[in-house]
Amino acid sequence: MTDLHTHAEDIVAQFSDHLDLDVDDVEERLDNLVNEYRVPVDEARRSVVNSYLDEADLDRDALGGGGGNAAVGLAEIDEDEQWIDVTAKVVELWEARSDSVAQVGLLGDETGTTKFVAFETSDLPELADGAVYRLENLVTDEYQGNFSVKLNRTTTITEVDEEIEVGDDAETVEGALVDIQSGSGLIKRCPEDDCTRVLQNGRCSEHGDVEGEFDLRIKGVLDDGDAVHEVIFDREATEALTGMTLDEAKDMAMDALDTTVVAEEMRADTLGRYYRVSGPQFGRYVLVDDFERLSDPIDAEAALIEARSI
């Protein structure tokens, strides 16, 4: 019964600011549900926690977990440098682009997903792809309207035996591509650890003059007739949209001795066409995960004439 005992200890810790619970009592209540009534452990735990919430006259949110920080949905983070606790699933692990990063990827909870970063210096246990963890003492981070969470030296990581239905926070917008904004095409990013800011005339706003790394991006505007939507295609999406690879873009710029020819070529290929895109909303942008080219909207009058003729 070590398992139930651990759950009981967790619950006692969770309520330590509100109720003076006895581990053995809590374990007995869990044991009763699990072994007497054959209730699954997760459900038993939820039921016991709920009864203590009632007893303490608390909302689940007020509990904020054992870390004592705000319990914020991952997709609802809207503050920089906020300390939070979450229970989240490791949805994706990405390749770390710098030696100082131990792990980088995507965490998900019921509200949606957000990027996480763990640094080598924090010396934390590794998160496993697909596993669910209780993570306490995370710090939120904001960059250009994009929020992420950082694990740090004080972060506690506890694997939990529960399944999370990760919420879908993707937005879908469509319309004619009416503008490709400056900062699109062949760009250079800052190579500093965890920076990736886009360079302006070879300068990073944080790190000054640096040797940039080439990347492709399109910051576009879709107009659906009622509203405009700002969207960002990353390198992969830009290559798929334009059919131009990063290497081809570099060659083109090299031949012309000018990087702006790339965005010009992309404009010529895509402006005025109709697209439907979907992806997470960050700040005022939809970051394009998926897109499809739509046939141009049906000319209403022509459709009417055709309908009458049937």
Footprint on this chain of Zn ion (rule: CB under 5 A) = 190, 192, 195, 197, 204, 206-207
Cβ proximity to Zn ion: between 194 and 264 the closer is 194
Work out how close the CB of 217 gets to Zn ion at its nearest, in angstroms, rounded to a whole number: 16
Work out how close the CB of 189 gets to Zn ion at its nearest, in angstroms, rounded to a whole number: 8
Cβ proximity to Zn ion: between 91 and 204 the closer is 204
Work out how close the CB of 199 gets to Zn ion at its nearest, in angstroms, rounded to a whole number: 8
Work out how close the CB of 191 gets to Zn ion at its nearest, in angstroms, rounded to a whole number: 8
- Cα angle 102, 105, 110 (rounded to 5 degrees) comes to 135
Residue 239 zone, left/alpha/beta (φ > 0; ψ -120 to 50; rest) = alpha
Cβ proximity to Zn ion: between 143 and 274 the closer is 143
Work out how close the CB of 4 gets to Zn ion at its nearest, in angstroms, rounded to a whole number: 50
Chain centroid offset of residue 86 CA: 14
Q: Which residue's C-beta sits nearest to Zn ion?
A: 190
**Cα→Cα distances 104→186, 233, 305, Å:** 25, 21, 56
Q: Is 142 exposed, middle or buried (0-12, 13-18, 19+ CB in 10 A)?
A: middle
What is the torsional sign of CA 8, 32, 22, 71?
positive
Place of tokens 């682009």: 97
Cβ proximity to Zn ion: between 93 and 195 the closer is 195
d(CA 48, CA 43): 9
Cβ proximity to Zn ion: between 115 and 197 the closer is 197
